[in-house]
Structure 1
């Protein structure tokens, strides 16, 4: 029953608990799928054996090493996904060629740097996905993650000066933007497109 003038009835405690349980189950299924995908990406080969191994490893991780709950409040956007995959393949090929050139260039010793990049949408899911994508690209490696401040500490290869550091930060924030455009909520999408991070780190 609804009281006069109150509109729709408020959800009961049981209904809220059911919604919370359904939300947790949904998040676990999404995390499970991402773990299986990452396992196959690490092996670099989508085979039945790697798929089965990923299913078993992902299940073991979620059962024996439970992570803090990561809430997924966004939605999958097909256009964003296609753009993300296309740009990722291009960057993967370009970075692989760059690292290969450095490896075979006689007498060349590349300079490296560790930069701190503050993300504009510092959610747990955003931090994790951005870190995973960066780790898959040759020449970049996640050194540390400051979860509270939303900062990624990234090792970058072949740095010649401040311009390269600025370009690396811009590239990392572009990865974050493409991830949010793929699976982020409308609020996160507005935030990543409008927010500016003025504070830089050495």
Structure 2
């Protein structure tokens, strides 16, 4: 394991008391917002009820802390969003073409893709983005090994499987460029260069 891989997989320093309380307040706010959205009405009763339910959830079902050692890069985030929108349009058109094609039976496959950055946040973000693209669906995530298992629609041969893996690595690379740490960015860039050689 290289130094960049160790740095990318290593947890960040534990947060101080102020940081933990801030995270809890943010989670409380989001839960109250979701509570009010579920009821479809923002009222004093829903705000108080949401605060009570959110407080109970955070007290009895505490979530593990999510560490974020990276930084958001606006330019790379814009590139990610534009490419993601393009992939959504292309994949939607492809799935629509398959759906209206008479007599065509697409073959699916489940592939395992090992992620280069194995942090919980990167695995979760990559899995979410892949699941949002029509024609792909995350079946399982092996957190320890850093492997995402994905069902891919319309596989005609081994080249389609390789293309699907390359697309997932490209999504991971764009996500890490947009929000990863310097070590994580170096890791995905180095892995890309090594693959090309």
TM-score (norm 2): 0.73
| 1:16-43 CA distance string (max 9 Å, x none) | 98x52344356567878999xxx9xxxx
Equivalent runs, 1:102-121 vs 2, <5 Å? 102-121=98-117
> Residue in 1 aligned with 2:9?
none
Greater fraction helix: 2
Give the Cα separation in 2 of the matches to 1:66 and 1:73.
21
Q: Which runs of 5+ in 1 are unaligned?
A: 1-15, 40-47
**Residues 92-111 of structure 1 aligned to structure 2 (within 5 Å):** 92-111=88-107
The alignment status of 1:133 with 2:129, answered yes or no, reads yes
SS of the aligned residue for 1:72 comes to coil
CA contact (8 A) 2:28 2:55 kept: no
Where does structure 2 lack aligned partners over 5 or more consecutive residues?
A: 1-12, 42-49
Superposition deviation, residue 80 in structure 1: 0.6
Q: Is the 8 A contact 1:119 1:173 kept in 2?
A: yes
Matched, 1:74 2:70: yes
Residue 195 of structure 1: how far off its partner (Å): 2.7
How far residue 159 of structure 1 moved from its aligned partner, in angstroms, is 0.3
Displacement of 1:117 in angstroms is 0.3
SS of equivalent to 1:155: strand
Partner of 1:84: 80
The residue correspondences of 1:1-202 to structure 2 (distance < 5 A) are: 19-25=15-21, 63=58, 65-195=61-191
Contact 2:140-2:149 within 8 A present in 1 as well: yes
1:116 Cα deviation from its structure 2 partner: 0.3
TM (norm. structure 1) is 0.71
Shift of 1:62: 6.7
CA deviation digits over 1:42-72, x for unaligned, max 9?
Answer: xxxxxx958x89xx7xx58973654332210
Alpha-carbon RMSD: 3.3
Question: Secondary structure of the equivalent of 1:188?
Answer: helix
Distance 1:75 1:93, change over 3 A: same
Deviation at 1:185, TM superposition (A): 0.6
Q: In structure 2, do the counterparts of structure 1 residues 173 and 99 end up closer, same or farther at CA, with 3 Å as the change threshold?
A: same
Post-superposition offset of 1:192: 1.0
